[in-house]
Amino acid sequence: MKIRNGFVSNSSSSSFVCDICCGAEGGWDLSLRDAGMVSCANGHYFHEDCLSKDAFNKIKLQQEEEIEVDGEWVSNPDFNDDYPYEIEEAFCPLCTLDALSLHDAKKILNIRVGNDEVILDTIKKLGYKTMNEYLEGEKQFN
């Protein structure tokens, strides 16, 4: 499986993976906006649904070419039609640490516990049933 981050200029198909929920979107001539996704200035990609309400509202405002002001439709000064569709770092749930990507969590785990092999061996010793009980909060990790 190929995973592509960002825009691929020599292909008519594109795919994006959400850095928060790991959901993937793909299709022909698909843009971030078409996929319901955005990116931040630091290169994180995620679904609009994974954003806070404030960040989501700001993005929606930026997507509108015209807005209604005092009953009249006027050009939206915040409209941004650039690609890829970026939001400010201050609204990115990963940059603000309101969310943690699986990639970053794995790097932290490797530093705290050990490499992938040590982590996998620890989980194997638990067994599948015990691991699920731990993940569901029914058991403490020893």
* Mean pLDDT across the chain: 80
Cβ contact 20:99 at 8 Å: yes
126: amino acid identity, one letter: L
Domain ranges of the chain: 1-99, 101-142
pTM score over 0.75: no
pLDDT at site 82: 55
pLDDT at site 126: 85
Question: Is pLDDT above 70 for 139?
Answer: no
Structure confidence by residue, pLDDT tens digits, 31-51? 888 888 888 889 899 898 888
Structure confidence by residue, pLDDT tens digits, 62-77? 667 777 888 888 887 7
Q: What is the DSSP string of 25-90?
A: EEEET--TTTTTEEEETT--EEEGGGS-HHHHHHHHHHH-SEEEETTEEEE-TT----SS-EE-GG
Q: Residue 83's pLDDT band (boundaries 50, 70, 90)?
A: very low
- In the three-class reduction of DSSP (H, G, I as helix; E, B as strand; rest coil), residue 68 is classed as strand
